[in-house]
């Protein structure tokens, strides 16, 4: 005769306790992490988040925006636990000002700036900027968005910034700057390469890296997530091969 499993012999009260503990244990294993991510990394990190949930059971909940704006929210007690910046200075500031966990910051990607237009067949680059044969040029706000800062630095290197200033339309972040170009409200714009990496249409010019400061995008664990295993697991996953493959697919580089 088949023997009953030992747990079936437990009194009802004990059996209930075992079941409650099992449920609680499952709750501990499957947790949630709140991630503040720079707007340029939106598509890539959404894809990474899905892979992370499938691999770990944890769920990543994302909030997107300009790096400066996200950091302002962090200083105002926003419940973010991981910060994915579009630069390396803001996470360093978070550590210095006591919002980040020491030893957790690292560069998860390096970004590329692109001059982009939805119009096919355009020859974009230095001469196109000097000619200025467009009505509107979209960039992200250079005060809060590193890609906007890089766009201004590029124009200054070419000596065209003052001439083009009246044609510039600023997006609150790089996502809005791209939206201006994508909807035709600006004929051209400086956007993140990640936003057009999977779009075969349009015209583009990848800005040489020596025309602006390196866009090193750093991640840091915030003190609000110091005791959240899901937050630590997400940062670890971001360093792994699955995430790296996605990051490369969207045109980012790495600091090795």
* 3 is a domain residue: no
Verify that 103 and 226 share a domain, yes or no.
yes
Verify that 219 and 205 share a domain, yes or no.
no
Model-level pTM? 0.80
Q: What is the pLDDT of residues 102-125, one digit of tens each?
A: 999 999 999 999 999 999 999 999
Q: What is the mean pLDDT of the chain?
A: 90
Confidence of residue 204 (pLDDT cuts 50, 70, 90): very high
Verify that 186 and 225 share a domain, yes or no.
no
Task: Return the higher-pLDDT residue of 23 and 239.
Answer: 239
Verify that 34 and 83 share a domain, yes or no.
yes
pLDDT at 212: 97
Residue 145 · residue 71 · CB < 8 Å: no
Verify that 68 and 100 share a domain, yes or no.
yes
| Distance between CA atoms of residues 44 and 247, nearest Å | 6
Verify that 71 and 104 share a domain, yes or no.
yes
Verify that 69 and 194 share a domain, yes or no.
no
* 186 is a domain residue: yes
* 16 is a domain residue: no
* 232 is a domain residue: yes
Q: Residue 243: is its pLDDT beyond 50?
A: yes
Percent of the chain clearing pLDDT 90 (strictly above):
84
Q: Residue 133: is its pLDDT beyond 60?
A: yes
Q: Tell me what the mean pLDDT of segment 135-156 comes to.
A: 95
pLDDT at 116: 98
Strand ranges, E, within 69-212: 82-84, 106-111, 113-117, 137-140, 168-171, 188-192, 203-206
* 9 is a domain residue: no
- Residue 88: which domain range? 29-110+215-249
Verify that 45 and 137 share a domain, yes or no.
no
Phi and psi at residue 152, to the nearest 5°: -65, -45
Verify that 101 and 129 share a domain, yes or no.
no
Q: What is the pLDDT of residues 35-75, one digit of tens each?
A: 999 999 999 999 999 999 999 999 999 999 999 999 999 99
Verify that 207 and 115 share a domain, yes or no.
yes
* 8 is a domain residue: no
Verify that 139 and 86 share a domain, yes or no.
no
Phi and psi at residue 164, to the nearest 5°: -95, -10
| Distance between CA atoms of residues 30 and 56, nearest Å | 8
Residue 221 · residue 232 · CB < 8 Å: yes
Q: Which of 2-11, 73-82, 189-198 has the lowest mean pLDDT?
A: 2-11
Quote the number of domains for the chain: 2
Verify that 161 and 69 share a domain, yes or no.
no
Residue 145 · residue 174 · CB < 8 Å: yes
- The CATH number assigned to the domain holding 174 equals 3.40.190.10
Q: Tell me what the mean pLDDT of segment 169-178 comes to.
A: 95
- Token reading at 53: 């949930």
* 4 is a domain residue: no
Q: How many C-beta atoms surround the C-beta of residue 242 within 10 A?
A: 15
* 148 is a domain residue: yes
């Amino acid at each position: 005769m088949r023997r009953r499993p030992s747990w079936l012999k437990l009194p009802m009260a004990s059996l209930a306790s075992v079941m409650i503990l099992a449920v609680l244990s499952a709750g501990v294993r499957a947790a949630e992490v709140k991630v503040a991510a720079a707007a340029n990394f939106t598509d890539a990190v959404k894809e990474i988040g899905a892979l992370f949930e499938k691999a770990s059971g944890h769920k990543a909940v994302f909030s997107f925006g300009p790096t400066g704006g996200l950091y302002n929210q962090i200083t105002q007690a926003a419940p973010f636990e991981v910060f994915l910046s579009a630069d390396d200075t803001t996470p360093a500031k978070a550590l210095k000002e006591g919002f980040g966990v020491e030893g957790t910051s690292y560069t998860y990607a390096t970004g590329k700036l692109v001059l982009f237009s939805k119009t096919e067949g355009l020859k974009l680059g230095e001469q196109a900027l000097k000619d200025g044969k467009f009505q509107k040029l979209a960039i992200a706000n250079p005060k809060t968005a590193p890609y906007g800062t890089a766009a201004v630095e590029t124009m200054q290197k070419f000596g065209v910034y003052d001439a083009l200033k009246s044609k510039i339309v600023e997006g609150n972040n790089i996502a809005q700057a791209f939206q201006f170009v994508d909807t035709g409200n600006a004929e051209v714009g400086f956007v993140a390469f990640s936003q057009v990496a999977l779009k075969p249409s349009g015209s583009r010019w990848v800005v040489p890296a020596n025309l602006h400061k390196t866009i090193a995008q750093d991640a840091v664990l915030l003190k609000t997530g110091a005791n959240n295993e899901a937050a630590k697991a997400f940062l670890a996953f971001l360093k792994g091969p699955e995430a790296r493959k996605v990051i490369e697919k969207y045109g980012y580089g790495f600091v090795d």
